[in-house]
Amino acid sequence: MHPLAERIQQQDMRALARAITLVENDSPEKLDMLSDIFSLKKNAHYIGITGSPGAGKSSLVNRLLTHLREKGLTVAVIAVDPTSPFSGGALLGDRVRMNQHFTDPGIFIRSMATRGSLGGLARATKDTLRVCDAYGFDVILVETVGVGQSELDIMKVADTTALVLTPNSGDVLQIFKAGIMEIADLFVINKADLPGVGRLKATLEEYIMIADPKGWVPPIIRTVSTENKGVDDLWSEIQRHRTYLYESHKGQKQRQRQLKLEVYDLIREEIWREVYRKIEAEDSKQEAFRDLIADPYQMAKEWFQEWKEKGGNQHG
């Protein structure tokens, strides 16, 4: 077994952090390590918290954390910021707010920083979920910032996704266009202390009616995270969804679909890594990049063909 997998099995938190760093850095030993870690897989509930910037996701995550700890559950929080992991004031703010949790061994908080990683942010986040699962956390909360394609990819691995909206912010239309509404298992109206709650609720109810979901109907939950209101409601609805996934076998089907996509994803990443490293290492090819009128289609065609003929990663 990979030494880090062994240490994670013994709940060594430094090994956990180290493994995530290897994931973020696209370390060549990544697949071997993750495969060993995967064999330790436990039964964490993956919960995605998504929504527009400033909707109150972090405040809500913070409240949930306290709530879950009071129930004796252990929690990992993964904060994903696709744009700027370090300069984002939001994340720095999160750190300050979440400070109170830092000394609790039942809590692990990590923000993802994968700019430039070949596999991309969604890939690294999925792997990180697996690592946290293997460690044995009961609940893994993934907070994403923004409502774009990257968030969509990340949220697809969550068992339960909560979409956080705020009254009178006009974010519903944008979220709808981005296809985020469809992945929401729960709608959370946060900042329910502000005016416009009734209208947003009506909009959501209308959406649900038109979407006409079979089986699970997304509940609408009102929260005021600044006042710690609605958090227990939110948690009981999240649990109700988990029970639904289990009893309807939907969870199993969801994970099966995910597995297929994931295998393709990993293979694509492996091929890409090989081709990329090879081209980056070849002076003549780097020289060719400087030719401003070179035909990119021709180059891609020839170089990929060349890579295949040399037996892929045989380095021949």
Ligand X SMILES: Nc1nc2c(ncn2[C@@H]2O[C@H](COP(=O)(O)OP(=O)(O)OP(=O)(O)O)[C@@H](O)[C@H]2O)c(=O)[nH]1
Contact set with Mg ion (CB under 5 A): 57-58, 90
190 binds ligand X (CB under 6 A): yes
125 binds ligand X (CB under 6 A): no
226 binds ligand X (CB under 6 A): yes
- Taking a C-beta distance cutoff of 8 angstroms, is the pair 164, 49 a contact? yes
224 binds ligand X (CB under 6 A): yes
Dist CA 20 CA 217 (whole Å) = 35
226 binds, among ligand X, Mg ion, none (CB under 5 to 8 A by kind): ligand X
7 binds, among ligand X, Mg ion, none (CB under 5 to 8 A by kind): none
How far CA 42 is from CA of 15, 79, 81, 259, 277, in Å, comes to 17, 21, 26, 16, 35
φ/ψ (deg, to 5) at 75:
-140, 135
Dist CA 258 CA 265 (whole Å) = 10
Using the minimum distance from each CB to Mg ion, give the nearer residue, 129 or 145: 145
Total residues belonging to the chain: 316
First to last CA, the chain: 30
- Shortest Cβ distance from residue 74 to ligand X (Å)? 22
Ramachandran bin of 228, using left for φ above 0, alpha for ψ from -120 to 50, beta for the remaining angles? left
Look-up of token digits 């969509």: 152
Using the minimum distance from each CB to Mg ion, give the nearer residue, 56 or 167: 56
Which positions from 246 to 285 touch ligand X by CB under 6 A, shown as an x/- string? ----------------------------------------
Number of residues that bind ligand X (CB under 6 A): 17
113 binds ligand X (CB under 6 A): no
Q: For ligand X, which residue of 40, 118, 183, 194 counts as binding (CB under 6 A)?
A: 194
Which positions from 126 to 155 touch ligand X by CB under 6 A, shown as an x/- string? -------------------x----------
138 binds, among Mg ion, ligand X, none (CB under 5 to 8 A by kind): none
State CA 193 to chain mean position distance: 29
50 binds, among Mg ion, ligand X, none (CB under 5 to 8 A by kind): none
- Shortest Cβ distance from residue 54 to ligand X (Å)? 5
Token pair for 74: 């252990």
Dist CA 150 CA 144 (whole Å) = 9
58 binds ligand X (CB under 6 A): yes
In three-state form (DSSP H/G/I as H, E/B as E, the rest C), the secondary structure along 237-279 is: HHHHHHHHHHHCCHHHHHHHHHHHHHHHHHHHHHHHHHHHHHH
Segment near ligand X (CB under 6 A); pick from 15-23, 124-132, 186-194, 247-255: 186-194
- Shortest Cβ distance from residue 235 to ligand X (Å)? 16
Residues 123, 4, 45, 84: is their CA dihedral positive or negative?
Answer: negative
Segment near ligand X (CB under 6 A); pick from 50-58, 168-176, 195-203, 213-221: 50-58
CA atoms within 13 A on the CB side of 151: 26
Q: What are the residues binding ligand X (CB under 6 A)?
A: 53-59, 90, 93, 145, 190-191, 193-194, 224-226
